[in-house]
Amino acid sequence: MKKTIKLSAVAAALILTISGCNDTNQTQQDKKQATSSVQQLSQQDAQAFLDNVETQMKALVIEASRAEWIYQNFITEDTSALASQENQKYTEAGVKYAMEAAKFDSVEVTPEQRRKLNILKQSLVIPAPQDAEKSAELAKLAADMGSIYGKGTYTTKDGETLSLVAMSAKMSSSRDYDELLELWQGWRTVSPEMKPLYAKQVELANEGAQGLGYKDLGAMWRSNYDMTPDEFATELDRLWGQVKPLYDDLHCYVRAELGEEYGEDKVPQDGPIPAHLLGNMWAQQWGNIYDLVAPENADPGYDVTTQLATHNYDEIKMVKGAENFFTSLGFEALPETFWTRSLFTKPADRDVMCHASAWSLDTQDDIRIKMCIQKTGEDFSTIHHELGHNFYQRAYKDQPILFQNSANDGFHEAIGDTIALSVTPKYLKEIGLIDSIPDESKDIGLLMKMALDKVAFIPFGLLVDQWRWKVFSGEVTPENYNQAWWELREKYQGVSAPVDRDVNAFDPGAKYHVPANTPYSRYFLAHIQQFEFHRSLCELAGNTEAIHRCSIYQSKEAGEKLNSMLEMGSSQPWQNAYKVVTGNEQMDATAILDYFAPLHVWLKNKNKNRQCGF
């Protein structure tokens, strides 16, 4: 986890506990004086303000990061309280500085100063109104929704009480239509209680965003991409238009295979796919149904998990192997403190948070990963991804702290995934894990497995914020929350609710990121960017094969260009950073089409006599 002024998920949640900077009982005379003070602010005042922010925030980042690290590695009530205390201090400062940064909106400042001021303003995911009572109410709404989601369970018809984790595990492997339907409906009994809370939160958060000078909260979120809010929305639609032909053919093929499995009466071949049949509680990724749709003779002839065992890889050797990937590109080896301070295996004597994460604790060289590594092929790839975050964090360490972040919020995930795309059979052979590279006839299976996660996710990654932007703008009102949600899911994903939904249902709330108020466009962007980065880096590496077979391992040319982009952090518009690697300032989703080209040809052939579309 990387803590910068762009607040962590923990800090973002805590932000709601902080009151606005102005007291509601401020007199008219006070307000006049405040207005006069704003009018007299200068560029020199802006610099003094920013200098003070960067000094204080660096100390706060270190304190909050250390407390959070200790909590996640030694989970007790005391460490939780200490982490919350430090995060609250960090968040209070973030709220205060965002409000103060807004005072410089009409002051003439340098481009660098304006960029830093905007970063401060836009770091607030849910800005509190400048009213103590409303701010406190906003805090309670967030806590209540988080509690409803976190404590949510469902008791089955057989009397078994299941958590979301347990339900998701069952959905990933069950092929029983009725069981899947029960689990899908069961989880959605948790969220209706959130609906009035969410509606009130939208009202208060919009007021907070308007206090910072934005039309509504959606406009504020979309302003974080070095383009106008309308331009950003248009850009996402353009990118989706590029990917849609591939997605449509994948959808058509998967629908046909599911029709064979469950019957075309349950999976009509001329409409959306019922959402509960795709192996995932939200139908956002479909990899869990690979066994139902896998091409014939798709086995590549090796299993990475087996090969790791054969070659005596333990957890440390797996991480060393991933580090070797980066040093082969010309990056400096990880510091010794990485090895002494990271968590690689689950301790036997205490509870820890095992979710894989990458950390920078001191904004300089104290980089670490926290991961309960399993000796599997999946975790070997994940380690490469996590180290991608670490090498990014170290690359921009010389930037001012307000610029110590990725170029936009999609870049960090995209970089990690870009590196993981190079964990190909070619790479596995070069490091001695497999003896030979399977011929191209085996590529379809590998590409199908990846497409079920990567390509299938893209429209879901787009529509979550599409729905929220309509809610924030008032286009979608509470009585239409659920209807609008499923209209978007059918429009973009071709996925439908398997049963009629009650008017009072709140199915968006069944997805964590909605009640947690985590912007979602970043995940859409990451899925677009990673393939273009991979394509460009492969070209720099002199690759002559299809890009899905390419690994940039040992390419100093690719490594040098990648590092040049990473070093920029968020100091310049993301378009400038993008151009360093890709040569273009505009994202281009055709790289995804190039990557999956053999699969797309195969899908079209399979779909020849089918009625596609939804």
- Hey, which residues are catalytic here? 355-356, 385-386, 389, 413, 513, 523
Measure the CA–CA gap between 589 and 549, rounded to whole angstroms: 18
Identify whether the C-beta of residue 448 lies closer than 8 Å to the C-beta of residue 298.
Answer: yes
DSSP label at 123? T
DSSP label at 541? T
Measure the CA–CA gap between 102 and 339, rounded to whole angstroms: 42
Amino acid (one-letter) located at 530: Q
- Beta bridge partners, 343, equal 370
Helix (H) or strand (E) holding 122: helix 111-122
For β-strands 495-496 and 273-274, DSSP reports them as: parallel
Q: Among positive and negative, which fits the CA dihedral 275, 278, 282, 284?
A: negative
Backbone φ, ψ for residue 370 (5° rounding): -125, 115
- Nearest-10 crossing angle of helices 77-102, 43-73: 160
DSSP label at 215? S
Identify whether the C-beta of residue 367 lies closer than 8 Å to the C-beta of residue 393.
Answer: yes
Measure the CA–CA gap between 107 and 288, rounded to whole angstroms: 54
> CA dist 307 to 313, 387, 450, 554, Å?
9, 22, 20, 22
Measure the CA–CA gap between 127 and 115, rounded to whole angstroms: 19
DSSP label at 328? H
- Nearest-10 crossing angle of helices 229-262, 443-473: 130
Instruction: Report the SS3 class of residue 238.
Output: helix
Q: Among positive and negative, which fits the CA dihedral 246, 460, 592, 171?
A: negative
Measure the CA–CA gap between 166 and 303, rounded to whole angstroms: 27
> Nearest-CA neighbor of 165 among 175, 154, 176, 177?
154
Token couple for 426 = 């070619």
Q: Please, what's the largest Cα pairwise distance for the chain?
A: 80
Token couple for 126 = 């849910």
Amino acid (one-letter) located at 58: K
The DSSP-derived string for 560-611 is HHHHHHHHTTTSS-HHHHHHHHHS-SS--THHHHHHTHHHHHHHHHHTTTS-
DSSP label at 452? H
